Amino acid sequence: MREGSGIRSVVLLWALSGLSPLWAQGMDRVEIIGKLRNADGTALEQKVLVTLESSSGSPAEEKFTDHNGNFRLGNVSDGYYYVVTKSPDHENVREMVRIHFRQNRTVHVTLFLNPKKRQQSEALPGIKGDRSSWTVALGDLSQSFAPRVLDEYHKGTRAAAKGNREKAIGHYRQALQMAPDFYPASNNLGLQYERSGNLEQAERAYRQACDARPQVAQPYLNLGRVCYERQAYERSVEALVQALQLDPGSPAGHLLLGSAFYKLGQFLLGTRHLETALELDPQQNQARLQLANIYLKLGERQKALEQLQAYVAANPQDPRSSDIRTMIGRLGGVP
């Protein structure tokens, strides 16, 4: 079974090159044209507050999108800016944009927003137990636990399978009160918190699992993912480096680590891990979108074009394919 990366969306960023040298015309301002979409590529159909921040974090402009998620910001001068979304129904996004009027007259940005409350159908990896042996069915876990501990654990697992998160959380916490080092319970507790959108509690539970069983990769991978979702990219890198030391062949681990390095502006490290993710699993197509983002920021348009074309070829039914084909055309390729 292929690992789930846990990356719910990838922000796509591109610039329209001016057909004539704008600096020669005395124009030194650039407009940002953007649109917000749901994670599946569909129209947002609601107004969302969008803020343009300077590189120092101070707001330069702020306005609401229209009812279809479209917005315009500007005119802005040269420099680095952040486009920030604020929505009560979606996770906030903060994406860097570089403005250079000598190169680009208009910058286009598409941001994909994730809902704050996730659906039960999301595939987050769990750790299952073996009731018949009263031990957890993992080769690294040789310690036996009291039947009461495992009974609460299995009750939590059954509740989670039925979609009853509150009961699952309650049973996992009961198991951990009796056995704080029973890491399958803390790991799966983190999964339930993550699914319910409580990322702070999820991070705390994953850390407890890592502390209880530091020689197992999966809790570190989960910790790195939830830190990434919280935009705590330094903490994400720290956890994912540990995960990959324990399991260097994890495509999801390399995808997440490469994405975290990208968010931190460490593009060479990001490229290395994203390419490794694709080498290990060519179906990790989210890595192609992240690589395209990196290449665009580095000004390597041909490499970005190749990644986008490969993504569309592998995912022709992706709702985002229309936007990606538009980007391919603007980069001079064949959509």
Burial state string for 4-22 with b = 16 or more CB within 10 A and e = fewer than 16:
ebbbbbbbbbbbeebeeeb
Report the DSSP beta bridge partners of residue 35.
70, 110
Q: Residues of CATH 2.60.40.10 domain(s) within the chain? A: 12-113
- What does the pLDDT read at residue 133? 26
Q: Exposed/middle/buried for 178, CB within 10 Å: 0-12, 13-18, 19+?
A: middle
**Is pTM beyond 0.75 here?**
no
Report residue 25's pLDDT band, with 50, 70 and 90 as the boundaries: very low
Q: 79 forms bridges with which residues in the sheet?
A: 99
Region of poorest pLDDT, from 10-19, 38-47, 68-77? 10-19
Whole-angstrom CA distances from 238 to 200, 235, 326 are 17, 5, 36
Cβ atoms of residues 180 and 208 within 8 Å:
yes
**Within the chain, which residue ranges are assigned CATH 1.25.40.10?**
131-242
pLDDT of 11 over the 70 cut: no
C-alpha–C-alpha distance, residues 178 and 193, integer Å: 20
pLDDT of residue 238: 95
Residue with tokens 């390399």: 254
Q: What is the pLDDT of residues 48-69, one digit of tens each?
A: 888 887 766 667 777 788 888 8
Residues 90-94, mean pLDDT to the nearest whole number: 82
* pLDDT (0 to 100) of residue 26: 32
- Greater confidence (335 vs 157) lies with 157
| 139 SS3 class | coil
Q: Above 90 in pLDDT, residue 176? A: yes
Output the pLDDT for position 105: 64
The C-alpha atoms of residue 233 and residue 94 are separated, in whole angstroms, by: 12
Query: Residues 145-168: what's their mean pLDDT?
Result: 88
What is the token pair recorded at 267? 């593009």
Residues 35-49: pLDDT tens digits?
A: 888 877 777 777 888
Residue whose C-alpha is closest to residue 288's, from 273, 302, 274, 267:
274
- pLDDT in the model for residue 225: 93
% of the chain surpassing 70 pLDDT: 76
Q: Which CATH architecture has domain 12-113?
A: Sandwich (2.60)
Residues 6+ apart with CB under 8 A from 71: 33, 34, 35, 36, 50, 63, 64, 65
CATH topology of domain 131-242: 1.25.40
pLDDT digits (tens, 9 = 90+) for 125-140: 443 333 332 323 333 4
